[in-house]
Amino acid sequence: MPARRVPLGRLSRPTSTIGGADLPAPALRRRYSANTTAAAAAMAPCAALISPVRSSSSPEAEKTPRQPECDKIIHERRESILSCKAMRQSITVYLAIFHRLRIQYTMSVFCLLWVPVFYFFRRSISNGKTGMGWWALIPGCAAVLIRYLTGPLVTPAGFGLSCWLNGFIDIISLPVLLPILVCVLLIALRRFPSDVDIGGFTLLWLIPLTFYYSVDRSLLYSPLMLVLVPLLWTVQALGVSFFISCVLKYPRWYVIIPSILSAAALPLTAATSWWAFYSQQTQTGCLFLFVSLMPALISLILEWGIRKSA
């Protein structure tokens, strides 16, 4: 654009062009001061928020910022956040402990009540025999006392034969075979009749032992000891007594031989099932557990059928 020409008569007065209008210097200064004052008035609230509060009493206090107060607030916020995190962690730990104790308490109650409840259940579906009275609890308590005083007869070393023998003698089979042998001996001595309920007698004998196990093994948090062991006791008590009853009721060679072999194999199968689960061989343990359950299920079905037909 060509430069604007200024008349010679107006050179004595300094001018300025703002927005296309020529203003003299005094008017320019007045407008500039007014704009500056308005801008300062508009920025005053923001400056009050941004700048630290200054005291009017002493000049030194006007130069002191609010940094210590900000650090205090930040420190309090940080402490509150850390305390919330610690509280959440504590709550998580307490919930985990409560869940563990609840499961442990449930397994202990199962171990405590399984054999008595199953005894009354079997009595309700069978012909009502009680195993020659409740006096079978007395030798059961004596056996528990002897077991507590002597301790385990076999100490396991690893997962081999010693572990299996420990399960067979101290945990699974011998505690069940002992009352069965006592009952058979009393039948042979004609202290018990031949049609006595061997299974009921064995279950009554095992009730004190379940009480002992539910207290002694409750701190182990082990379903193997608190769930599987009472189940295998019940299975052996019903299965072995079923085979012995078959021998006593049907004294024929084609009944005696399979019954004796089955009665001898059932405790070995139950101990092997426990050993397989203990050695973390779950499939093998389930297989032997299923085989161990079959005689007990057959016994219950036959007793229920006899009661229905009577």
Q: How far apart are CA 22 and CA 14, in angstroms?
A: 10
Mean pLDDT of 86-94: 65
CA angle centred on 199, ends 122 and 277, rounded to 5°: 90
Could you tell me the end-to-end alpha-carbon distance of the chain, in angstroms, rounded to an integer? 127
Instruction: Tell me which residue of 299, 154, 167, 153 sits closest to 238, measured CA to CA.
Output: 299
Task: Give the dihedral sign, CA 275/277/281/282.
Answer: positive
Identify the DSSP state of 171: I
Structure tokens at 177: 């075979």
Give 165's pLDDT tier (boundaries 50, 70, 90): very high
pLDDT at residue 91, rounded to an integer: 65
Coil/strand/helix, residue 23: strand
pLDDT per residue over 43-67, tens digit each?
555 444 444 444 444 444 444 445 6
Residue with the larger pLDDT of the pair 15 and 228: 228
Identify the DSSP state of 191: S
Beta bridge partners of 21: 18
Structure tokens at 242: 């079923």
Q: How far apart are CA 137 and CA 140, in angstroms?
A: 5
Coil/strand/helix, residue 53: coil
Mean pLDDT of 209-237: 86
Whether pLDDT at 76 is above 60: yes
pLDDT per residue over 266-302, tens digit each?
999 999 999 999 998 999 999 999 999 999 999 999 8
When computed from its CA atoms, the radius of gyration of the chain, rounded to whole angstroms, is 46
Asked whether 152 and 170 are in contact (CB, 8 A), the reply is: yes
**Could you give phi then psi for residue 15, rounded to 5 degrees?**
-130, 170
Average model confidence (pLDDT) for the chain?
77
- Whole-model pTM? 0.68
Asked whether 235 and 269 are in contact (CB, 8 A), the reply is: no
Whether pLDDT at 310 is above 70: no
Whether pLDDT at 156 is above 60: yes
